[in-house]
Amino acid sequence: MADPTLFAQIKDPSNRADPYPLYARLRGHPVTRQDDGSYLVSSHAAIRALLFDPRISSADLPPAHSPPTGNPLKDWILRPIKDEIVSRHRPLIFRDPPDHDSLRNIVMTQFTPERVHGMKARTESLVGELLDKCRGRDEICVVDDLAYPLPVTIICEMLGVPREDEPRFQGWATQLATALEPDARHDEETQAENRRTFDTISDYMKGLIKEKRRKPQDDMLSGLAAKTKAGAMGDFDLIATSILLLVAGHETTVNLITNGMLTLLRHPDEMERLKHDPERAPRLIEELLRFEPPVHFRTRKALADIPISGQVIPKDAAVVLLFAAANRDADRFPDPDRFDPDRPDNQHFGFGGSLHYCLGAPLARIEGDVALVTLARRLVNPRLIDDPPPYRDGASLRGPKSLRLRIDGIA
Ligand code: HEM
């Protein structure tokens, strides 16, 4: 039997810089029960099987429960109604078919390849501007100076959020990303803060949607608002969807750029090759998504008893799909602990798989590509100040809190 405390160890911040030895221990027992009752799944084959299994549900959030206000009318009547609405209109990442599929199809009508590829030039100019601001300095922080502001600006522009409101979205995205961390989800204080943040963004979005309906523009929110008006998607789902697009694409992309730069600095030959051959970027990004993925795991719920890999996951159990462990499974990837952008057949789980496969993957690839190529080309002689760098708390969305570099200038 595998150590039943491994999940607790994975979540322990002291293991954040290098959780891979823990994953290696887990893979000896690809499906294993933990002390907290959850089942950890760590092999490529078992995760793949479960991603395609209809007995596995993504609707695993606890019911919405907003804190009491002390006002009897609100607490006995309005609050339960609101909690019920929120629980029913979860973002599509927490929904199952058929609702999930119809919502996803509607979003895809707006998240078109033309719109996404149209953002490449904008991403290049934005990355250029952000680096220009660092000129004259001998130290930069990849997170603060580039990776953190970039994805928010891009998604806000795609959605059609006015520029002056963008800074508010950064804090909101960071707060709501905690909904993807199993422990934070059950922590009352975090839940209450998430409710407040959700209510604030919802109020903001309601106003913006009204505005988009009154005066539609060429942006995703105008397109989605027109569909809501036509009855294809309710307003609550529209709000939940726009918040999801903001949150799902923020910390994940920050982590891709930051983990990417950290990995390149630890593999200077790859940095050199990228600098002289930017066409290598797509391969390099795929290998990064396998080797240092921004999302280490996602949780699910078993809808029935599921026999798998010699175990039975019981009905109602929490299931943790450890994508980052499966990405280093030697049965699927030869020499899995080696960073090798030339690896053939790189079917990683960096963007998940099956029904919930990342909807923003093409956009994330563009942002990662532009950011890493520009950093490799423009930073003169970058050196890591801290290795390993300090990490943020998240075990699921894992990435450095800061990545400070000493440089000899910006080209
Ligand atoms: C490097 C950056 C990114 C990574 C590593 C990433 C990773 C993932 C993963 C692993 C999932 C699957 C979740 C699951 O199975 O439960 C997912 C889903 C999703 N991602 Fe991303 N993501 C990234 C960027 C983005 C961006 C930029 C957007 C949009 C702006 C986005 C929007 C979404 C949405 C909406 C889903 C839910 C899809 C569904 O449930 O059908 N992601 N992402």
Measured CA to CA in angstroms, residue 93 lies from 61, 209, 265, 352, 357 at distances of 11, 21, 34, 11, 10
User: Residue by residue, what is the 3-state secondary structure of 95-116?
Assistant: CCCCHHHHHHHHHHHHCCHHHH
Q: What is the pLDDT of residue 166?
A: 85
Instruction: Please state which of the ranges 231-240, 280-289, 345-354 shows the lowest mean pLDDT.
Output: 231-240
For the beta sheet containing 31-33, the strands, ordered from the edge strand earlier in sequence to the opposite edge, are 31-33, 39-41, 318-321, 298-302, 56-57
- The minimum-distance atom of ligand 1 relative to the CA of 107 is 35
Residue of the CA atom closest to atom 1 of ligand 1: 253
Q: Do residues 104 and 358 touch, judged by C-beta distance below 8 A?
A: no
3-state secondary structure (DSSP) of residue 306:
strand
Nearest atom within ligand 1 for CA of residue 321: 15
Are 102 and 253 within 8 A, CB to CB? Answer: no
The predicted-structure confidence for 190-240, as pLDDT tens digits, reads as follows: 877 878 888 888 899 999 999 999 999 999 999 999 887 767 678 889 999
pTM of the entire predicted model: 0.94
2-6, 168-172, 273-277: least confidently modelled range: 168-172
- Portion of the chain with pLDDT greater than 90, in percent: 75
CB distance 200 to 208 below 8 Å:
no
What is the Cα–Cα distance from 91 to 240, expressed in whole angstroms? 5
- Give residue 328's pLDDT: 98
Look at strands 56-57 and 31-33 and give their pairing. Answer: unpaired
Q: Which residues form ligand 1's pocket by a CB distance below 6 Å? A: 58, 92-93, 104, 155, 244-245, 248-249, 252-253, 256, 294-295, 298, 350-352, 356, 358-360, 363-364
151 neighbors 294 (Cβ within 8 angstroms): no
In tens, the pLDDT along 128-146 reads 999 999 999 999 999 999 9
Cα of 269 from ligand 1 centre, angstroms:
30
Domains of the chain and any CATH numbers: 1-83+296-349 (3.30.43.20)
